[in-house]
Amino acid sequence: MPAVTETIDTVQSVTEGTYKWGFETDIEMEFAPKGLNEDIVRFISHKKNEPAWLLEWRLKAFALWLKMEEPRWSAVSYPAIDYQDAYYYAAPKQKAKPKSLDEVDPELLKTYAKLGIPLKEQAILAGVEGAGEAPADAGRMPIAVDAVFDSVSVATTFKARLEKEGIIFCSISEAVQNHPELVRQYLGTVVPQGDNFYAALNSAVFTDGSFVYIPKGVRCPMELSTYFRINAKSTGQFERTLIIADEGSTVSYLEGCTAPMRDENQLHAAVVELVALDDASIKYSTVQNWYPGDAEGRGGIYNFVTKRAQCRGRRSKVSWTQVETGSAITWKYPSCVLLGDDSVGEFYSVAITNNRQQADTGTKMIHVGKRTTSTIVSKGISAGRGQNTYRGLVRVAPSAGNARNFTQCDSLLIGDQCGAHTVPYIENRCMTAKVEHEATTSRIAEDQLFYCRQRGLSEEDAVGLIVNGFCREVLKELPMEFAVEAQKLLQISLEGSVG
């Protein structure tokens, strides 16, 4: 397999130290002291000027967390994390809103420039007054952005336009201040504080995240988007996202991330809760490109995320689409609890592991309502010494008459030192339910590569083309703007990887 060996070599040479977005901006931080205890939880709550009920809620989560143990059942390994050796609060110093880009911290603008964010959007992201009110470019779907720069949202955009529709799209901190009744009604109802170790940690110390509420019957006129960045040394980031789609509403939400290079491992434990009521539809798309660590896996992000949706209403629908190319370790199972009759859950995933990256990802589809349906399409790509595990649960309750599930798990191997694993759990307690599972494992064949190269494609381009073809079913689920970015990312992640 000389082609494959070459490929691995190329992959290695390309990935070593060449993370395109490895940089760190130097912005003054207001740190909480290192470590985690009740005082830190109180400090965070106080800093954010939170109501008493939320502080109580956090403290309860912290108490639960203290009694919990880090889960060890996933197929990932990493050195023990010292939770007392990290900062749990860091925020950029915020003055009055800048009047123009000239007044914005140049370091911040440099960060955006390196990320390739257009100037106009930079102004919006940086919270320049009046930016984002101008009509969107003709022919381009507008995107509303809620930027999480480090822990605090520095800007939200298109707010006025969304407000006209009665849509609330803001940071969760703002939502706590301005819409406490909504936050209190839904927070923790999908992912309770004690759900799991990382969710409990998040509930205790979450600093920010996004909040979306789509009122009854409203079709959100634009894609809602958040740029996530982890930007302070050794600051674990704990976002909390809550999206509520009221009866008959529709929303598409985009989440994308890149992160600066650094030496210490960074813990990232987000919680995302989605609630879809009768006839509501939520599409949640993620392109995740956090720093994966160097060729030996040092310094990458630990991405331990809890994402869950409840389809509470009849005929409600939630669709998760994820493209996971980054992080040293990914531990993530975006799930759907299908409570409402005829509700629909979907999960489309591409996960790439290269070098020493580890991914244990998949989904849970819990069928409770009658005639609920779920679709799972998972594409895992392993290169280098990457380990890729699909772990999925399809559970059908006795109440879910005529429920249906279709699962397809495909794995693509590049080289002979990587691994692909499929761990599907099926628990069916309903006689009339139908559950299907298909799985394949393949390699990029030498004849495919040669065919492409004979037509003039470099080995690299050939792999990119074949991998994109392999992922097509998932990529086509992404909104246009994201699909292009995702294709580029796949190529970058496997660059040279011929594979």
Q: Note whether 66 binds another protein by CB under 8 A.
A: no
Question: Angle at which helices 52-67 and 38-47 pack, to 10 degrees?
Answer: 150
Q: Which is nearer to another protein, 283 or 379 (CB)?
A: 379
Q: Note whether 130 binds another protein by CB under 8 A.
A: no
Least distance (Å) between residue 409 CB and another protein: 15
Q: Which is nearer to another protein, 428 or 448 (CB)?
A: 448
Least distance (Å) between residue 459 CB and another protein: 8
Residue 250 β-bridge partners: 219, 281
Cα gap 430→450, rounded to integer Å: 49
The answer to whether 377 and 350 have CB atoms below 8 angstroms apart is no
Helix (H) or strand (E) holding 287: strand 281-289
In the list 79, 135, 139, 456, the residue contacting another protein (rule: CB under 8 A) is: 456
Hey, what are 232's tokens?
Answer: 């302070």
Q: Which is nearer to another protein, 341 or 460 (CB)?
A: 460
Cα gap 358→74, rounded to integer Å: 10
Least distance (Å) between residue 375 CB and another protein: 18
Provide the mask over 267-296, with x wherever binding to another protein is found by CB under 8 A and - wherever it is not. ------------------------------
Please, what's the largest Cα pairwise distance for the chain?
68
Q: Note whether 457 binds another protein by CB under 8 A.
A: yes
Site for another protein in 328-347 (CB under 8 A): none
In the list 213, 228, 284, 470, the residue contacting another protein (rule: CB under 8 A) is: 470
DSSP 3-state percent helix, strand, coil across the chain (nearest 5): 25, 35, 40
Provide the mask over 419-448, with x wherever binding to another protein is found by CB under 8 A and - wherever it is not. --------------------------xxxx
Cα gap 168→245, rounded to integer Å: 11
- Choose the stretch contacting another protein; rule: CB under 8 A; options: 41-49, 344-352, 396-404, 466-474: 466-474
* Tokens 């990887």 sit on residue: 497
Q: Note whether 348 binds another protein by CB under 8 A.
A: no
Q: Which is nearer to another protein, 144 or 350 (CB)?
A: 350
The answer to whether 458 and 426 have CB atoms below 8 angstroms apart is no
In the list 451, 480, 484, 488, the residue contacting another protein (rule: CB under 8 A) is: 451
Q: Note whether 480 binds another protein by CB under 8 A.
A: no
Cα gap 261→440, rounded to integer Å: 35
As a whole number of Å, the CA-based R_g of the chain is 22
Cα gap 203→57, rounded to integer Å: 8
Least distance (Å) between residue 446 CB and another protein: 7
Sites of contact with another protein (CB under 8 A): 2-3, 445-448, 450-459, 461, 465-466, 468-473
